[in-house]
Amino acid sequence: MVTGRDESRGRRIRLGMVGGGNDAFIGGVHRIAARLDDRFELVAGALSSTPEKARASAEALGLARSYDDFKAMAQREAQRKDGIEAVSIVTPNHVHYAAAREFLKRGIHVICDKPLTSTLADAKKMAKAVEHSGALFVLTHNYTGYPMVRQAREMVESGAIGTIRVVQVEYPQDWLTEAQEGAGLKQAEWRTDPARSGAGGAVGDIGTHAFNLAGFVTGLRAERLAADLQAFVPGRRLDDNGHILLRYEGGARGMLWCSQVAPGNENALRLRVYGDKGGLEWAQEDPNLLWHTPLGEPKRLITRGGAGAGDAAARVSRIPPGHPEGYLEGFANLYTEAADLIEAARTGKTIDTLLPGITDGLAGMQFVDACVKSSKQDAKWIDLD
Amino acid sequence: MVTGRDESRGRRIRLGMVGGGNDAFIGGVHRIAARLDDRFELVAGALSSTPEKARASAEALGLARSYDDFKAMAQREAQRKDGIEAVSIVTPNHVHYAAAREFLKRGIHVICDKPLTSTLADAKKMAKAVEHSGALFVLTHNYTGYPMVRQAREMVESGAIGTIRVVQVEYPQDWLTEAQEGAGLKQAEWRTDPARSGAGGAVGDIGTHAFNLAGFVTGLRAERLAADLQAFVPGRRLDDNGHILLRYEGGARGMLWCSQVAPGNENALRLRVYGDKGGLEWAQEDPNLLWHTPLGEPKRLITRGGAGAGDAAARVSRIPPGHPEGYLEGFANLYTEAADLIEAARTGKTIDTLLPGITDGLAGMQFVDACVKSSKQDAKWIDLD
Amino acid sequence: MVTGRDESRGRRIRLGMVGGGNDAFIGGVHRIAARLDDRFELVAGALSSTPEKARASAEALGLARSYDDFKAMAQREAQRKDGIEAVSIVTPNHVHYAAAREFLKRGIHVICDKPLTSTLADAKKMAKAVEHSGALFVLTHNYTGYPMVRQAREMVESGAIGTIRVVQVEYPQDWLTEAQEGAGLKQAEWRTDPARSGAGGAVGDIGTHAFNLAGFVTGLRAERLAADLQAFVPGRRLDDNGHILLRYEGGARGMLWCSQVAPGNENALRLRVYGDKGGLEWAQEDPNLLWHTPLGEPKRLITRGGAGAGDAAARVSRIPPGHPEGYLEGFANLYTEAADLIEAARTGKTIDTLLPGITDGLAGMQFVDACVKSSKQDAKWIDLD
Amino acid sequence: MVTGRDESRGRRIRLGMVGGGNDAFIGGVHRIAARLDDRFELVAGALSSTPEKARASAEALGLARSYDDFKAMAQREAQRKDGIEAVSIVTPNHVHYAAAREFLKRGIHVICDKPLTSTLADAKKMAKAVEHSGALFVLTHNYTGYPMVRQAREMVESGAIGTIRVVQVEYPQDWLTEAQEGAGLKQAEWRTDPARSGAGGAVGDIGTHAFNLAGFVTGLRAERLAADLQAFVPGRRLDDNGHILLRYEGGARGMLWCSQVAPGNENALRLRVYGDKGGLEWAQEDPNLLWHTPLGEPKRLITRGGAGAGDAAARVSRIPPGHPEGYLEGFANLYTEAADLIEAARTGKTIDTLLPGITDGLAGMQFVDACVKSSKQDAKWIDLD
């Protein structure tokens, strides 16, 4: 009988969580994502800003150590020999920076939900905090974790579609078609509240995902944008629909549509990229497929794990083609790559990953800021630094 | 034995054609469309501006009377007892007005391909010519002839999706991804030549279809637009890709994308409309289907002739559900409605149809003009009268 | 001015029709199909077995010569100098043979709807009648006229999928889910009446199409079948659902499902063929597409007119890719090929076409007969000659 | 600070595994499935029949206790205070019974991969062993764990499609199109080896899934079947393609196709069920969708978590609609329900679940046995039981 158990225990990274108490959607997603590949063990949390709720949530999860606030958590975990090595921050946006700072300055790695912060000012402070910390910072633009998104990026890099001319990215949803924020839905409340969400509504919540995805796949930097934002639902204080024109370095042009008032769309993030030699199309709701349309040849449907799918997809794939992987698996890929990074960091090594980080987070906040500015000036073009 | 034949002959409307000689794509389409429901008989033509080609084309078609130019044709047909009652004009854009004028002023009905003309100035003259003529004028925005487009329009009118907020319309193609105009392709040559096509490239050729379709289904008038046009193919003189923001009366917002350089897209006109109570989605390449997504209910797929399809679709449908009708049938619906109009006109009656006409043609030319103006001013908003 | 008109008149083949009066679905389809490519002119008809209805229908169509019965029509048309050259027989099945015989023996070409007859005995007589006639006989298994069906056949022939192992063909509909035959629907009445339809219900009406399509594409002859037929609707006298196992020459195996009681299926004929090197899939409701799945390569979607589509499809295609052709165009392809045959026959030439004829008709009746026999013996294997 | 950790430890069920060493596909799937909802902790294993491989695999997984064979594991774990409470058996089929017996007789719950065993004789012994054990037995017919499969079952039960008439189920794959078993692919080797797989090839490996799924959704028992099995790949000793006719209690008829030689099909399990009031369609490769086609109404697309999805789906769903869940989540649903059962059993309670168990396993083996018997007798009908 081989007893490898203690070694294994050692291998699971000790993880904490800020936010993610009962009722929160994204906290549970992070926990499953962290667990899926068996690389993390959640051992501590400040799961809510309301102490009673924090405790109840921790108990429900069977969590070892529960804290009433993230600052106490950071302090005390930093002092423990078996303290957390990394923390997931899954609060509303306005708390991201204050929470992350506490952990970063104590050398605890941060895995933070998007968008980076609620304000561009906070985002810049976050960037400084990351710069001055020895710890790692990962931003969960989870859609970049999908195998076929990786595949698309790899194909663009390899020249499969030639020089990119046109980027079409859209992210429609329908869950805010009516005023859910007045109907007691927590998720809707903070997302439509400028104090907690920031200056962007749909554009911050999902527009940043779309913007990030387009950049991730194409490798292109957006230089300017013109945005026409609108709050269609009466009384809503933040945009629930955005129409955005983009100009990328090198001359490519883009359109980005994000909406939370488009009935029939659940989570319909979709990216299409066209170059002078071909096109690529990927849709989040059918994530195991990637269309490749080389000019002058039949359309090709590449499947995760199937013929035509390369190394970049294989690295983040677990099961054979035809066995659909989904949202949680894509999200888990970020956690598993974060685990690789953290383990490398233990021994002073660095490794290459495609993980989104502080740079992407800052770019996302600049995107939101530029959208809001542009829209206030009747869709005037705004430079993205 | 009943001999109804002569009566029948009498019933077929005598049709002429200008343009549409060998090599032309759209001329053949018009001829099939005119013939499909047995309401027209093509008896005369000036099928090409090159006399030899005109004659050869007429001979190939077995056409009764062939003319070397449209003016002679208009004059002589107007004098015949059995002269044409209507003419189809299917030349490149820059000829539309000059040709139509000759027939209109002689009281011969005109069925004209889109866009209306090559210039806004010509469009306005055309409008005057129509106004001063007793003859009918039909513009073949053929996509409005599809049954499920009619269905969508009827559903919007009936309130099925509530107040419209968002319009997403796109029309990507890929046939001009490379410089076909330099490779001897006639269709490409004139479409990329400002002298024959007008100031708009993709925006005129297909953008006008998309713009018209959105207006037809929603019943909304666009008030302003901002356009970012681009000619991606080196040396091309007209836009081959257009990104356009739209603002409709009543507050709805839209995006329109047209492209002829998007590999993998053949003729992918698609319209999505979202109101506060639901959404509709229709795609030209799968024209017998219409998605209806009422808020808070399962998505519904309405099929031509199937449950949920109403009178507006049934009126322009020939065969049962599951037996796909296509592009030619949709096009034929315009001809058949034109035949109804023409027959009514014979007896001084007027009837209601949904046929696009001079107003739509003028709106399309204003759209092209505004797009070009806006794009030259860095996507500045331009009013559409 | 060139006067090519008379020549043109000459070129249109003079066509008669038996059956196809008001209310009939398929008669109208044949008329459009005959007209679409301008190769026929319908000049005579015995449109109904009820004289009043025959006359009224002829008058509604503006038909030149209307007869009260097909025998009189055959006799008198054969005597006219300008008599019909071909006749379309679009009656219920039990009339096919009696009608066809009259025209065949007078040298008038016959275009006959499927299935060939209502009984195998009649089918054999029909085969003799064709054999003894100098006239042509075309059976409208119209699905073989679709461009992408031709493409599939060409690819199989060229070895694109290797040696065929498995054939999956299905043809579900839902229009007889309830007892429409008792509700006054003419189409349902005769199709569920053994006296008019024959021994097969669904298996005759649509199973024969599926069987024919599989043979057309694969080029394989079915040797044996085992059938489990069922009449699900209470009181129905003919099968409305059939499950059939097939064994083809050379060792390929097949399954054929036909049903008229499968809610949600309108006209969902679909064929899948798998060889040792790849697969092909085609669906009638999306007829412009063909999936080709070469083993070990990405799936390919071939579109009518697009890259990868070859000569066989191009020959029966009218408009560019992305402009959907449908059921009527596919049907028209048979008429146009029939016109080619007829014109060749005028001058004593023969040409090769892929038109289904008497051999296919006989095979279809043997299929129906074998299905019924097998089913009565508890799905025992029955040889197909 | 709340310390809930020990409680949590207590809550994770201690799990062992037999089989599932390096290279095995399904072992890793079981481990992720067990971990996903945090209800199990894998602590012991006999991961391979080769001791060296067992040890190496355990070490790679950081497994606490590794055994060289399952018998030693059962004995010693049963003696430990912290011994495993449940074991997952993920070996080739021929080992299932021998392994399960050891654990069942010691009161350790068994979660066993399908098919139940390699022979019907073993299956019957397994049934006895389960009967005589106080422990639970779960068979991982994982496709029954998908939310929309649960939804379909619930809808059938509620009468949404009326009385079932027709069942169409198919499970094509392509990975054995060539002789992978001769090319060193482990997965292929044992699956095509009668000694390890049993008398059925495709019919045992995937046909049982299809058969089980149809029964699960419809609630109908199959009474008879007729099977036409074939081994297409030269030299293959077990069937790689099966065509099967089914007759269900109450008169419904079915067709089942399973194949591992159908190029272009990855894991294309699909079920269609038609009743006298509507139809349902579900496809494993797009598992978050369910088509419902009520007779005489538009087709409805029900999405996991969306409008129209009921309690049965919600109970086994983690994230909102539009965020695709996949194969692993469906598999995990069985583990999580097993955890519920095990926890209830700890306190002597019983609860209702939809988990497949010994009855399903036995039915599956009878299905395989009947298919092989029928096929040997030229597709003669064989009674099930």
Beta bridge partners of B245: B226, B255
Confidence of residue C307 (pLDDT cuts 50, 70, 90): very high
For all residues of chain A together, what is the average pLDDT?
95
Distance of CA B220 to the CA centre of its chain: 18
Contacts with B381 from chain A: Cβ below 8 Å? 378-379
Q: What are phi and psi of C193, to 5 degrees?
A: -105, 115
Cα B97 to Cα B26, B124, B140, B341, C87, distances in angstroms: 17, 10, 15, 22, 45
C-alpha D247/C-alpha C230 separation (Å) is 11
For all residues of chain B together, what is the average pLDDT?
95
Q: Where are the domains of chain D?
A: 13-142+350-355, 146-319+362-383
C-alpha C5/C-alpha B65 separation (Å) is 7
Q: Which pLDDT score, from 0 to 100, does residue A1 have?
A: 38
Q: Which CATH number fits domain A13-142+350-355: 3.30.70.580, 3.90.1150.10, 3.40.50.720, 1.20.1250.20?
A: 3.40.50.720
Beta bridge partners of C2: B66
User: Is it the case that residue C5 has pLDDT exceeding 90?
Assistant: no
B266-302 pLDDT, tens per residue?
Answer: 999 999 999 999 999 999 999 999 999 999 999 999 9
Contacts with B320 from chain C: Cβ below 8 Å? 25, 175, 266-267
Beta strand pairing status for C278-283 and C270-275?
Answer: antiparallel
Can the peptide bond before residue A115 be classed as cis, meaning omega within 30 degrees of 0?
Answer: yes
Q: What are phi and psi of C139, to 5 degrees?
A: -110, 130
Higher pLDDT, B287 or B185: B287
Cα D26 to Cα D17, D38, D46, D122, D266, distances in angstroms: 12, 19, 15, 22, 16
Chain A nearest-CA distance from B263, in A, is 5
Identify the H or E element spanning C258: strand C253-259
Q: Which residues contact B346 (CB under 8 A, 6 or more apart)?
A: none
The winner for highest mean pLDDT among A7-21, A146-160, B17-31 is A146-160
Answer yes or no: are the C-beta atoms of D67 and A1 closer than 8 Å: yes
Q: Which pLDDT score, from 0 to 100, does residue D250 have?
A: 96
D186-222 pLDDT, tens per residue?
Answer: 889 999 999 999 999 999 999 999 999 999 999 999 9
Q: Which residues contact B256 (CB under 8 A, 6 or more apart)?
A: B169, B170, B171, B207, B210, B211, B214, B242, B243, B244, B246
pLDDT mean over B314-335? 97
Confidence of residue A22 (pLDDT cuts 50, 70, 90): confident
- The B-side interface with D (CB below 8 A) comprises 292, 296-303, 306-308
Q: Which pLDDT score, from 0 to 100, does residue D23 have?
A: 74
pLDDT mean over A333-347? 95
Q: Which residue has the tokens 């698609």?
A: B270
Q: Which residues contact A128 (CB under 8 A, 6 or more apart)?
A: none
Pick from D32, D65, D322: CB nearest A3: D65
C-alpha D131/C-alpha D135 separation (Å) is 9
User: Which chains does chain A touch, 3 or more C-beta pairs < 8 A?
Assistant: B, C, D
Chain B nearest-CA distance from C313, in A, is 17
Q: Which pLDDT score, from 0 to 100, does residue D46 have?
A: 97
Helix (H, G, I), strand (E, B) or coil at A68: coil
Q: Do D253 and C243 touch (CB under 8 A)?
A: yes
Q: Which pLDDT score, from 0 to 100, does residue A183 have?
A: 86
Percent of chain B with pLDDT over 70: 97
B98-114 pLDDT, tens per residue?
Answer: 999 999 999 999 999 99
Q: Do B1 and C65 touch (CB under 8 A)?
A: yes
Higher pLDDT, B191 or C300: C300
Q: Do A328 and D319 touch (CB under 8 A)?
A: yes
Structure tokens at A150: 């990786």
Q: Do C263 and D295 touch (CB under 8 A)?
A: yes
Q: Which pLDDT score, from 0 to 100, does residue A11 have?
A: 79
D226: nearest CA partner in chain C: C379
Answer yes or no: are the C-beta atoms of C147 and C336 closer than 8 Å: no
C-alpha D151/C-alpha C6 separation (Å) is 67
A33-61 pLDDT, tens per residue?
Answer: 999 999 999 999 999 999 999 999 999 99
Cα A343 to Cα A9, A259, C137, distances in angstroms: 14, 39, 78
Chain C nearest-CA distance from D202, in A, is 14
Q: Which pLDDT score, from 0 to 100, does residue D185 have?
A: 86
Identify the H or E element spanning B307: none
C77-89 pLDDT, tens per residue?
Answer: 999 999 999 999 9
Percent of chain A with pLDDT over 70: 97
Q: Do A286 and D287 touch (CB under 8 A)?
A: no
Q: Which pLDDT score, from 0 to 100, does residue B32 have?
A: 97
Q: Which CATH superfamily is domain B146-319+362-383 in?
A: Dihydrodipicolinate Reductase; domain 2 (3.30.360.10)
C-alpha C136/C-alpha C109 separation (Å) is 5
User: Is it the case that residue C179 has pLDDT exceeding 80?
Assistant: yes
Confidence of residue B5 (pLDDT cuts 50, 70, 90): very low
A75-111 pLDDT, tens per residue?
Answer: 999 999 999 999 999 999 999 999 999 999 999 999 9
B112-157 pLDDT, tens per residue?
Answer: 999 999 999 999 999 999 999 999 999 999 999 999 999 999 999 9
A43: nearest CA partner in chain D: D5
Pick from C296, C299, C308: CB nearest A297: C308
User: Which chains does chain C touch, 3 or more C-beta pairs < 8 A?
Assistant: A, B, D
User: Is it the case that residue A10 has pLDDT exceeding 60?
Assistant: no
- How wide is the angle at C-alpha B230 spanned by C-alphas B227 and B234, nearest 5°? 170
Q: Which of A285, A289, A343 to mutate to test the interface with D (most CBs of D within 10 A)?
A: A285
A197-243 pLDDT, tens per residue?
Answer: 999 999 999 999 999 999 999 999 999 999 999 999 999 999 999 99
Ramachandran quadrant class, D253 (left: phi over 0; alpha: psi -120 to 50; beta: rest): beta
Structure tokens at B275: 């109101």
C-alpha D232/C-alpha D217 separation (Å) is 31
Answer yes or no: are the C-beta atoms of D92 and D113 closer than 8 Å: no
Q: Which pLDDT score, from 0 to 100, does residue A24 have?
A: 75
DSSP character at residue D79: H
Answer yes or no: are the C-beta atoms of A95 and A101 closer than 8 Å: no
pTM: 0.96
Nearest residue to D298 (alpha-carbon basis) of B305, B162, B281, C327 = B305
User: Is it the case that residue B2 has pLDDT exceeding 60?
Assistant: no
Q: Which of D272, D274, D302 to mutate to test the interface with C (most CBs of C within 10 A)?
A: D274
C-alpha D307/C-alpha A171 separation (Å) is 20
Q: Which residue has the tokens 């949803």?
A: A173
For all residues of chain C together, what is the average pLDDT?
95
D248-302 pLDDT, tens per residue?
Answer: 999 999 999 999 999 999 999 999 999 999 999 999 999 999 999 999 999 999 9
Question: For the purposes of burial, counting CB atoms within 10 Å of the CB of A184, is it exposed (0-12), middle (13-18) or buried (19 or more)?
Answer: exposed
Q: Do A267 and D321 touch (CB under 8 A)?
A: yes
Q: Which residue has the tokens 């046939």?
A: B175
Percent of chain D with pLDDT over 90: 91
Q: Which of A185, A203, A228, A301 to mutate to test the interface with B (most CBs of B within 10 A)?
A: A228
